[in-house]
Amino acid sequence: MLVLRLLNVVAPAYFLCISLVTFVLQIFVFIPSMFRDPSTTPLFSPALLHGALFLFLSANALGNYVLVIQNSPEDLGKDFNLGKGAEVADWLDGSRSPGSALPGTHFCRLCARVTQRHDHHCFFTGNCIGSRNMRNFIMFCLYTSLACLDSLVAGMAYISATLSMSFADPLAFLTLLPHSISQFFSGALLSSEMFVILMLYLWLGIGLACAGFCCHQLLLILRGQTRYQVRKGMVMRARPWRDNLQEVFGKKWLLGLLIPVQNVESSYRRQKEK
């Protein structure tokens, strides 16, 4: 538990550091290197278009990241009058009767709250993912993967121009790291160039992981399930996939694709207000 709590603090700081390093490399290294003299180019120059695209992806990724943290799932323990005594222990060991809990309700030890439609605890945001912030979490994963892909392409172009190498061969990227390590220790490669090469593989890993999270989460939403329900083997009532998507993304789903907006109200809160 101590290791998990430490990871819950370190992981968000790690993500913010990676974001800051990516922003600095893109704005102050890649764009000036790929476009030597931006002052002589027209208004819609490739440099400005690439910079605007990267800023758009980064703003959406960080904006949804903040919304995931702010829109914490509802603490149903307050409504059920759960304290720190035996009742919470009943939720932890599963001895509470199913009729007294809503479907997918789970007590998170790290957040110390009971949430409805609990999906999982995200260490990179330090928050649980549930009905209120599910859409923002998916948008965060989507735009993070796109920003990493954009940075990966720009970084490969920078390394190709700096080291005079070609990535036309698919094996060139796979052999880049071991070849660069040998050159770095022999003194033929600068530390700044080695750092960019390491960032290429980091962007690739983060981008693939976020894309996988996004696709897997969308498949679960289409089925009307969460990861917690799948892990516990809960059988959910079958509903049309359009209703499942609308419950998460809302009617104004297109707006959420373009700018970071607050997630829709959860179904539990709507039922409680009625």
Number of other CB atoms surrounding residue 197 within 10 Å: 22
**Of the residues 108, 111, 122, 128, which is catalytic?**
122
Please measure the distance between the N-terminal and C-terminal CA atoms of the chain and give it in whole angstroms: 39
Active site residue 122: yes
User: DSSP per residue over 102-139, as a string?
Assistant: -TT-EEETTTTEEETT--EEETTTTEEE-TTTHHHHHH
Q: How far apart are CA 255 and CA 251, in angstroms?
A: 9
Q: Is 252 exposed, middle or buried (0-12, 13-18, 19+ CB in 10 A)?
A: exposed
Tokens (6 digits) for 44:
């819609």
- Active-site residue list: 122
